[in-house]
Chains A and B, each alone.
Chain A
Amino acid sequence: MDPLLNVVSPPLIQVDVEALYVEHRARLLGLAAAITLDRAVAEEIVQDAFAGLQRHVHGIDNAVGYLQRSVVNISVNLVRRRQVAARHPVVPALPANTPEVDETWLKVLDLPAKQRAVVLLRFWQDMTVDAIAETLGWPSGSVKSTLHRALKNLKEELK
């Protein structure tokens, strides 16, 4: 770290892990499952994220952001590591209400994990680009570029 750069120590904030768990677990599970396409693995990822929060509970000033960031990063990394045909989960067939939704969902599943993660945060969680950037610890421009590519891919696929 450059000693000349301004570094601000995070404040010590007490986090109610139990309340966070009750409030956010299902949503985080959805996020992890939609990235990994594996519900069982998603459960473990969410569990790991909460375990990490528990471990660093006194050094985190944005617990929800920490959890989301953990879930997305662990999920994306896992998908990358797991790119072995033999270990790909079989995504269960999920009937959609309309063919349009069905088609769109299949295209979402085809997105690279990182793009899918950003799409989920933007359009499922309705987060702004800046909020996604803050949550994931990415520059806003990276979120924009990833989102741009994802939407481009989706639109091209759906033409």
Chain B
Amino acid sequence: MTYEAIDTEFEDLLRTTLHEMVPKLVASTPVVEEGDGHGAVVVTLSSRRVRTSGSRRAAAAVLAVAAIVLGLIVIATRNTDGVTPGDSPSGADGGVPAWYDMIKPSLPDRFPFAALTFANDAQLFFVAVNPIEGKTLEIQLASNEYSTEPTTTVDATGAWVESDQGWSVKTPSGLFVSVTCNIGVGGRDYVGPTNYCDMASAGGFTKADIHAVANSLATSLTLSIFDAGLRVPAVDPIDVDAAEGLARSAFPGVQFGVAGFPQSDEIINSGMVDANPIGTAPALTNVVKADTSIRLLSGLYPIPTLSDPVSMALYEDAAVIWQFGPGGVLVRISTTDPSPQSDARLQQLTQDIVALIPTSPDANPTDAITPPATTTTLVFADGSNPAVVGVVVVDASGRSLGSDFAQYLQTNGVQVLSVIPATTSSPETMLQPLEADSHSASQLDLLLQVGGFDTFTPTEIDGELPKGATVVVVLGADGGPPAYRGSVNTTNTAIPTTSIAGLQDVPAFNELATTTTASLCDSPGALPTAVVANASRVNDTATWWTNTLGVNVVDVHFADPVNAVARSDHSRVVALSSSDCEATKIARYTTATAVDFATADELQALVLGPLPSGTSIVVLIGNDNLSLATTGVTTTSNGF
């Protein structure tokens, strides 16, 4: 049997395998996902972020299924009961609103802004806002509330019930007080899961703190508060439909709907759409991304001044982005997709929605309170210290770059335990979490933008990791992750031609390196010859690159540079398949995104003039490498 026949047989087996197995993979059986870290396994048909337990979430799931069956966009109707013309945000007389004086003594200092969002003769709803972490306290006072939940405890204040998000108490006189805390993550329940506010590391607003607020309200207020004639201020700050439209256009294919809250407190949730609607564009069907929620809260007192830029808090698997608009408005977007791409779009959406708010002469009174300057708040789950701790740098760069990199980390608030030389070099920089929850690594990834995690193996270093290590950063031959390379480049404008430092802003190699196994690069053999060909618009790039590559790629012979047949915007590394490893090494010093295989004839066809005998690699330097090639070279206007 010939080699080709064996190949054909193997490829047939591959075809058979794929044709049999891929349809099974997408058959209509549920996909089993791992749980959320609490030992639960969730079976879900569609949403990738379904959480476990909780009667409210179960109810939400039932509603969601019902919505799909009925072909409805989820969401309740708007509730405008109890909204009547009344006080301006700052009170009818322009002073402090009556309700604010009533609840302010019970509010923690970290929640300085509050709004009355609903009022009738039996119920009052308030929202207090924390401008540092994006959290809100939801406060309900009622005279006619009857809880069916079992009592958790009874004390002098009343009968207490603990919920996922907070506490409620009913006093002997009949005053019901409920206080919950949330970051507004939608899709599960508008008040979000328990841990975001409760976890000690997230600003530490714990259940005990919530209990204290509820207790203070219950003991300081009486049922007479419902006779005070409190009414929701007449505010008309935001065109909710327009905001919803902005959300739809920012996330094409994702449906948004307005949840049932008073006019001064609108919630726009991403929601679910009928799987088989009639007359709806198919690209907009079957969308299940119930993980983004926009809250438009108005009537805040004291009126915050405009916050600019947009503030953001990153939690473990969620992000909160918010901005104060004119006239005491808060626009808060919460998402369970805290990816950088999502964050960027949501920040822009926040600004766009704030821009919808009309600016009135009273929008920013002189007595407005300026929220603390919060541009980005990192909220960590690993303790009280809001910094990434226990980082070990394993220097696999082959160029002893570890110390500089460690210094960069430390200046960004990262605790580096040590810098350890690697036993072998690594082509790319990697993040390797050592703890099961990988939270520190996630936070570090926000800084470094490595974009993924790998697994630490003890053979990477001689000896053992220091005690307390939580994350290993393997500093690769690529010179560091993109964010670091960018920072190096922006601060180093004069770079010697023999230094690799000027080449560190090279985006090309990461993807390539992931598919190159060590075994491919360990093959012994004669050193290959590479030719550097100028395919750029300037005259002598190839010489520069030959010198550079000659310095930095020691196991390849470089022939004299030549000119390419055609000019190109993009750089390429083209090689015989037998020189895959060496070509891959070279590619990382260029902007080439991959090594292209070619025959010897095809290599020859790329350049003017004959290639030296034995040439197995041609490096075509295109226009996209000019900025790298000319960095630090100042002799002529074209860089040479």
Contacts and interface: CB of A to CB of B under 8 A. Distances in A.
A124 B286 contact: no
B528 to A, nearest CB: 15
Interface string A39-61: 11111100110111111000000
Nearest to A92: B32
A115 B437 contact: no
B523 interface: no
Given A81-B452, A84-B453, A146-B515, A40 B594 contact: no
Contact of A139 (B10, B18, B594): B594
Contact of A53 (B283, B339, B572): B283
Given A54-B252, A88-B34, A124 B515 contact: no
**For B34, B48, B451, B455, which residue has the most chain A Cβ atoms within 10 angstroms?**
B48
A28 B145 CA distance: 52
Interface string A52-96: 111100000000000000000000010011111111111010101
Interface string B564-592: 00011100101001001000000000000
Nearest to A90: B32
Contacts of A34: 18, 22, 25
A33 B281 CA distance: 23
A13 interface: no
B16 interface: yes
A4 to B, nearest CB: 7
B283 A51 contact: yes
Interface string A99-134: 011001100100010110001100110100000000
B13 A80 contact: no
B592 to A, nearest CB: 9
Interface stretch (B121-129, B207-215, B595-603): B595-603
A145 interface: yes
Contact of A104 (B17, B32, B567): B17
B597 A96 contact: no
A86 B438 contact: yes
A52 B518 CA distance: 37
A104 B16 CA distance: 10
Nearest to B437: A86
B594 to A, nearest CB: 4
Interface in B282-321: 282-284, 286-289
B282 A21 contact: yes
A114 B597 contact: no
Given A17-B283, A40-B46, A54-B252, A142 B595 contact: yes
For the residues of A in contact with B, the DSSP-based class is helix
Nearest to A21: B282
**For B26, B455, B520, which residue has the most chain A Cβ atoms within 10 angstroms?**
B26
Contacts of A138: 593-594
B110 interface: no
B537 A30 contact: no
Nearest to A140: B596
Contact of A94 (B25, B254, B597): B25
A142 B596 CA distance: 5
Interface string B524-564: 00000000000001000000000000000000000000000
A94 B20 CA distance: 10
A81 B514 contact: no
Contacts of B21: 94, 96, 101, 105, 108
A53 B511 CA distance: 25
Contacts of A120: 18, 22
B453 A83 contact: yes
A105 B567 contact: no
**For B23, B46, B593, which residue has the most chain A Cβ atoms within 10 angstroms?**
B23
B76 interface: no
B576 to A, nearest CB: 11
Contacts of B437: 86
A76 to B, nearest CB: 8
Contacts of A84: 433, 438, 441-442, 452-453
Given A34-B25, A51-B253, A104-B17, A148 B10 contact: no
A40 B47 contact: yes
Contacts of A151: 10
A88 to B, nearest CB: 7
Given A30-B26, A84-B453, A154 B14 contact: yes
A82 to B, nearest CB: 7
Given A86-B436, A90-B32, A105-B21, 19 more contacts: A2-B567, A2-B623, A5-B568, A5-B569, A29-B26, A30-B22, A44-B48, A50-B283, A84-B433, A92-B29, A94-B24, A96-B21, A97-B20, A104-B13, A138-B594, A141-B597, A142-B594, A145-B596, A148-B577
Interface of B: 10-11, 13-26, 29, 31-34, 37, 44-48, 252-254, 281-284, 286-289, 339, 433, 436-438, 441-442, 451-455, 511, 514-517, 520, 537, 567-569, 572, 574, 577, 580, 593-598, 623
Ordered nearest first, which 7 A-B pairs have the shortest CB separation? A141-B596, A51-B253, A21-B282, A50-B283, A124-B18, A142-B594, A104-B17
30 contacts: A2-B537, A2-B623, A5-B567, A18-B282, A21-B282, A25-B282, A29-B26, A40-B46, A40-B47, A77-B451, A82-B452, A83-B454, A84-B441, A84-B453, A86-B436, A97-B20, A101-B17, A108-B18, A108-B21, A119-B14, A119-B18, A123-B11, A123-B14, A124-B19, A141-B594, A142-B593, A146-B515, A148-B577, A149-B516, A149-B517
